[in-house]
Structure 1
Amino acid sequence: MARKCKLTGKKPLVGNRVSHANNKTKMRQLPNLQNKRIYIPEEDRWVRVRLSARALRSVTKKGLLSFLKSEGLTLKDVVA
């Protein structure tokens, strides 16, 4: 499974870890992904979504369907 947020599209960042001696080694910064069950009162059902912690905050504030509408997504695009 890809390490990518279904709602925001966040994915790992790649860069260099630089030591004091200026040695460079590759590193990855992974997004903070969570598997959550979210209740949709409009449809009276639960859905499982893999989303980042930032997206979870937005969904908690706005609601899942209104957040999807603002992002230009549908429920079928997101449901795992």
Structure 2
Amino acid sequence: MARKDQLTGKGPVFGNNVSHANNKTRRRFEVNLQKKRFYIPEEKRWVTLRVSTQTLKTINKKGIKAVLDEARRQGIRL
């Protein structure tokens, strides 16, 4: 499975490790993904999603229903 946030599509970004001698080698900055179960009372069902911690904070602020509605408007099927 790809290391991507299922709601926002956020994935890893690339950069460099830079040594003391200023040598550069490529590296990946991974997304902090968490597997989380959410209950949607309007649909009377549980949904398991792999979301980033930043998305979890957004869900806590807006609510799971609002975030899912926004994702569905953007074409993400859940």
One fold, TM greater than 0.5?
A: yes
CA distance in 2, matches of 1:38, 1:73: 20
State yes or no: 1:60 paired with 2:60. yes
Query: In structure 2, what is the Cα distance between the partners aligned to 1:45 and 1:69?
Result: 15
TM-score by length of 2: 0.86
Moved over 2 A (4+): 68-74
Structure 2, unaligned runs of 5 or more: none
Q: 1:64 offset after TM fit, Å?
A: 1.7
| Offset from partner CA, 1:11-70 (integer Å, 9 cap, x none) | 011111111211111110000000010010111111111110011111122122211223
RMSD: 1.6
- How many residue pairs end up in the alignment? 77
Amino acid at match of 2:2: A
List runs of 5+ in structure 1 lacking aligned partners. Answer: none
TM-score by length of 1: 0.84
CA distance in 1, matches of 2:43, 2:65: 10
